[in-house]
Structures are given as structure tokens and as C-alpha cells.
A and B are shown apart, each in its own frame.
Chain A
């Protein structure tokens, strides 16, 4: 009974405030959603992994999708946008290749897209922690 009461209390606590803040912060900056919830270890590992994958992708001369000319470009753009501010900063700084010319650049493009998708997963995980769906 005490456990159920504690869970109910925790559930009520977790509903206070803006519940989407960790989701949005986690999307904009990798790991920030977990940092907001004081999950320092998880946040640091997620941040290092997502940033690492993105940086390796850029270093491999991966392409940043700028527009959607066909359905595959649209999917690539959606993946890239998952990186949040990383994508905006990289576009502004002119990082990444305009065209894929070597094999590793093709891998780099996938690394950047997957980093964005992993960032979305991490942001949703932060939201689940915030709402009490996950502990």
C-alpha cells in the first residue's frame, strides 16, 4: 500500500510545471532533457553519444540536407532536424558537404541522420521520465 501511495504522490509531483520542457530541451540540445531532471550520468552518456555521432558524421564529410527534392531527401531532412540546434549551428557555419563524393561521406550522411533520430528517442525518454511513465 505504501508503495502505491508513493507512486501516486510521485505521479502527482511529476505532473506539476511544464511537462514538455525536458522534451523540448532534449531535442534542442542532446542530453539537456535528462540534465533538467538531474539524471546527470544518463544525460552525459546520451550527450556524448549523440554529439559524437554527429561530429563523426561531419568529420566524414557527411551531407546536411537543406531541402526536400524527393521523398528520400524529405526523410533525410526530417532525420537531420532531429539534431535540433546542432543542425541549425552546422547549417549556419557551413559545415558538412554539399555533395557526397567519397564512400565515407555517404556513411557520414547516415551518421548525421541517425544522430538526429537517436536525439529524438533520447528527448522522448526525458519526457517519459518527466511524466513518471519511466523511472
Chain B
């Protein structure tokens, strides 16, 4: 049984999804890599921002 932390789960999800998005949504390898990195940063960044927002709202 694999029990990752919430953050590790977010990073794994972002990594797998970003690879697929990068390859399928762009045509050239260079643009695929850029778009994959862009999606990864958005996934992880938005999770961190929303987590802090929920933390501040709950206080």
C-alpha cells in the first residue's frame, strides 16, 4: 500500500498529467516541453495557493 503525503500526491498527479498534456496539445518537441512545464507549474502552483487560502480562511 502506497500512502503519499498530500503534496507528494499533487506532484505525482501534476507530473503525469503534464507529460500527457504537453505531448498531445502541442506539435513540436520544444513546444511540448515548454507546455508540459507550464502545466506542471500551474498544477502545483495553484494547489499551493489554494492550500494557503484555505488555511488563512480557516483561521
Residues from 1 to 44 in B contacting A, C-beta threshold 8 Å: 1-4, 9, 12-13, 15-17, 19-21, 23-24, 27
Residues from chain A with a CB closer than 8 A to the CB of B2 are: 56, 59-60, 104
Residues from chain A with a CB closer than 8 A to the CB of B24 are: 46, 121-122, 124-125
Residues from chain A with a CB closer than 8 A to the CB of B23 are: 42, 45-46, 122, 125
Asked if A49 and B3 sit within 8 Å, CB to CB, the answer is: no
Question: Provided the pairs A56-B12, A104-B9, A135-B27 are in contact, do residues A46 and B20 lie with their beta carbons within 8 angstroms?
Answer: yes
Main SS of the interface on chain A? helix
Instruction: Choose among A42, A52, A61 the residue that contacts B16 (Cβ–Cβ < 8 A).
Output: A52
Residues from chain B with a CB closer than 8 A to the CB of A125 are: 23-24
Asked if A49 and B12 sit within 8 Å, CB to CB, the answer is: no
Asked if A118 and B17 sit within 8 Å, CB to CB, the answer is: yes
The interface on chain B, measured as residues whose beta carbon lies within 8 A of the other chain's beta carbons, has a size of 16
User: A118 vs B19: C-alpha distance in the bound complex, in angstroms?
Assistant: 10
Residues from chain B with a CB closer than 8 A to the CB of A48 are: 19
Number of A-B contacts (CB under 8 A): 58
Main SS of the interface on chain B? helix
Check: A69 CB closer than 8 A to any chain B CB: no
Residue of A42, A61, A122, A135 ringed by the most chain B CB atoms within 10 A: A42
Other than the given A114-B17, A134-B27, 14 more pairs (CB < 8 A) read: A46-B20, A46-B24, A53-B13, A56-B16, A60-B1, A102-B3, A104-B4, A107-B9, A115-B16, A118-B20, A121-B21, A121-B24, A124-B24, A125-B23
Q: Which 10 A-B pairs have the closest CB atoms?
A: A59-B2, A125-B24, A53-B16, A49-B19, A118-B20, A49-B16, A107-B9, A104-B3, A42-B23, A121-B24
Binding site for A on B (CB under 8 A): 1-4, 9, 12-13, 15-17, 19-21, 23-24, 27
